[in-house]
Structure 1
Amino acid sequence: MAGNEPVTSPDQHKEPNLRLVRTAAVVSALITLTLVFGNHKPGVESVWIGLIAGLMLLAVIVDWMLRRNGLRS
């Protein structure tokens, strides 16, 4: 065993299920957008909620485009 090498299990080296991760991100963004329709007057919090949901969707779209073009493995 190497001196500074961390001890990890084989499960930690497994690739994540990308389809599941993307689906979870899109569902999370949609659930976040439902928070806009609450019992409050639209204001600053609605803008932040929209920005957060938009950034989640943008991350999924950019990741999808990079993988499609072969720029990310």
Structure 2
Amino acid sequence: MAGTQLEPSSSDPMTAAHVDTAEVPSAAWGWSGEAPKTFRFFGWFFAAFLLTMIIGNHTGRVEDWWLVGSAALLVVILVRDIVIRRKPR
């Protein structure tokens, strides 16, 4: 009787960390974190990708300004993130 109380049954979910699923809904299916290195990589990737999209078959300059502006906004956000991470707390 005591052995069954100590061992979880196969139908009970096992929790590795004590995270309230009301606060973090993704903890219910086993992931409740972020991937900051991945997000930063894709931020730089898409900034470069937007700039390479300038090369194309369009004739107007409005598209170029939107692409450069969007890439510049991404770069500003990424540089701000680098500065914030380097400041001591």
TM-score grouping bracket, smaller chain normalisation: 0.7 to 0.9
Q: Which runs of 5+ in 2 are unaligned?
A: 1-21
Which amino acid is the alignment partner of residue 61 of structure 2?
A: G
**3-state SS of 2:51 partner:** helix
Structure 1 match to 2:44:
26
TM-score by length of 2: 0.63
Structure 2 match to 1:36:
54
Distance between the aligned counterparts of 1:18 and 1:6, measured in 2?
Answer: 20
Which amino acid is the alignment partner of residue 83 of structure 2?
A: M
Q: Which structure is higher in helix share?
A: 1
Q: Which runs of 5+ in 1 are unaligned?
A: none
* Residue in structure 2 matching 1:60, options 66, 72, 78: 78
Distance between the aligned counterparts of 1:27 and 1:65, measured in 2?
Answer: 19
TM-score by length of 1: 0.76
Distance between the aligned counterparts of 1:63 and 1:51, measured in 2?
Answer: 18
Moved over 3 A (4+): none
- Give the % identical residues: 25
Task: Determine which structure has greater relative contact order: mean sequence separation of CA pairs < 8 Å that are 6+ residues apart, divided by chain length.
Answer: 1
